[in-house]
């Protein structure tokens, strides 16, 4: 397969779920895929060998945070993100647009770009779409995202329409500025929960043409059912020969429902963030290790899981680490939570290939775990 080929190898007959392979300069990526988030070039508390052991194929980093610290120039001089963070598989960098627009009281926005204040030292910076692409080229990820405007939820329709139009114009400028042939540039669909605005965004981005398409503007407070309702026509109208990436979504149920609609890629901080709070995913629902019922529980964290945490440490020990705020507790729970989501998407892929995804999804919907996610 040639670089950035997207080969759909199987589709489900009863849903729009599909299994595919996306080729990058650092190896193939088999989809559906969950991508752990390493915002500052590190998945918090987890080493890169541990990430490889749990089956991570792609790791995310964030252009906004790395631009502020240590600086894109330093990463570039180190040989790019792969050498900087000791990761030899694929990397995706988010443009940082979501992070900038989440700090609405510290930015000035125009069609030219965005002026924002650093969360590190308060200094002002200006990014044009071209600036953003240059920074991501310095970072050297395999997949990079366009700079876009991500409106909050809820937002006035007029504000969402403006974000759609501006994001489309920025997408064109990002593509014109992009030079590195070893990077795949993705456009980002916006439009909130408005079907016609989402359709407009898809049409404008498809007209420009990208290696893949992010679907942004979700996981910002909208109801789960409303997200799926507005997501379905987006997936139907995006090019079938390109990967579809639902940004910022990592709930097990949301991922499985989105796979049924035709989504290929996911990312979220949820597994590591909840781990640092002492919570574990499991085949029986979420487990709060702070709960006293685990103090004398010497069974595995999740009997259905084969990760190093579940095969090596009892619940009582994990609770002890959480209660005493030992760093190892967050690491072991992060390893497990990442394994849980990576294994879930791997099994989803297997179900698609076997022609049984609809049954796989229905089994999840009726499982004891479903209500917790």
Residues recognised as catalytic: 94, 267
Scanning the structure block, which residue is given the tokens 């294994």? 343
Distance CA 265, CA 238 (A): 14
Q: Closest Cα partner for 352 from 20, 1, 6?
A: 20
CB 100 within 8 A of CB 117: no
Distance CA 150, CA 171 (A): 13
DSSP helix/strand/coil, 33 = strand
Distance CA 78, CA 69 (A): 14
- Partnered with residue 266 across adjacent β-strands are 34, 246
Label residue 325 exposed, middle or buried (CB < 10 Å: 0-12, 13-18, 19+).
exposed
CB 32 within 8 A of CB 263: yes
CB 284 within 8 A of CB 252: no
């Amino acid at each position: 397969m040639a670089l950035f080929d997207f080969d759909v190898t199987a589709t489900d007959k009863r849903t729009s779920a599909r299994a595919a392979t996306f080729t990058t300069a650092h190896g193939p990526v088999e989809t559906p895929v969950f991508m752990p988030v390493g915002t500052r070039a590190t998945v918090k508390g987890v080493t890169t060998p541990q990430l490889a052991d749990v089956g991570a194929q792609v790791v995310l980093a964030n252009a906004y945070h790395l631009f502020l610290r240590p600086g894109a120039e330093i990463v570039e001089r180190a040989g790019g993100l792969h050498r900087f963070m000791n990761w030899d598989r694929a990397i995706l960098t988010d443009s940082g647009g979501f992070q900038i627009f989440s700090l609405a009281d510290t930015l000035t926005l125009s069609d030219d770009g965005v002026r924002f204040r650093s969360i590190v030292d308060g200094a002002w910076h200006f990014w044009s779409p071209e600036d953003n692409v240059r920074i991501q080229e310095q970072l050297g990820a395999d997949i990079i995202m366009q700079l876009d405007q991500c409106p909050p939820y809820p937002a006035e329709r007029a504000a969402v329409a403006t974000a759609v139009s501006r994001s489309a114009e920025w997408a064109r400028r990002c593509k014109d500025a992009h030079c590195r042939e070893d990077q795949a540039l993705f456009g980002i669909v916006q439009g909130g929960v408005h079907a016609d605005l989402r359709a407009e965004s898809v049409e404008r981005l498809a007209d420009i043409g990208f290696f893949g398409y992010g679907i942004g503007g979700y996981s910002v407070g909208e109801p789960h059912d409303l997200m799926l309702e507005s997501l379905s026509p987006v997936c139907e109208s995006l090019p079938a020969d390109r990967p579809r990436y639902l940004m910022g979504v990592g709930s097990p149920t949301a991922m499985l429902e989105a796979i049924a609609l035709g989504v290929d890629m996911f990312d979220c901080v949820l597994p590591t963030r909840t781990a640092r709070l002492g919570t574990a995913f499991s085949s029986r629902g979420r487990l709060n290790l702070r709960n006293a019922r685990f103090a004398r529980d010497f069974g595995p964290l999740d009997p259905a899981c084969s990760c190093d945490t579940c095969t090596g440490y009892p619940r009582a020990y994990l609770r002890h680490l959480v209660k005493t705020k030992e760093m190892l507790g967050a690491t072991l729970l992060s390893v497990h939570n990442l394994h849980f989501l990576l294994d879930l998407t791997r099994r989803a892929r297997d179900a698609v290939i076997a022609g049984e995804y609809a049954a796989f999804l229905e089994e999840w919907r009726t499982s004891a775990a479903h209500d917790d996610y």
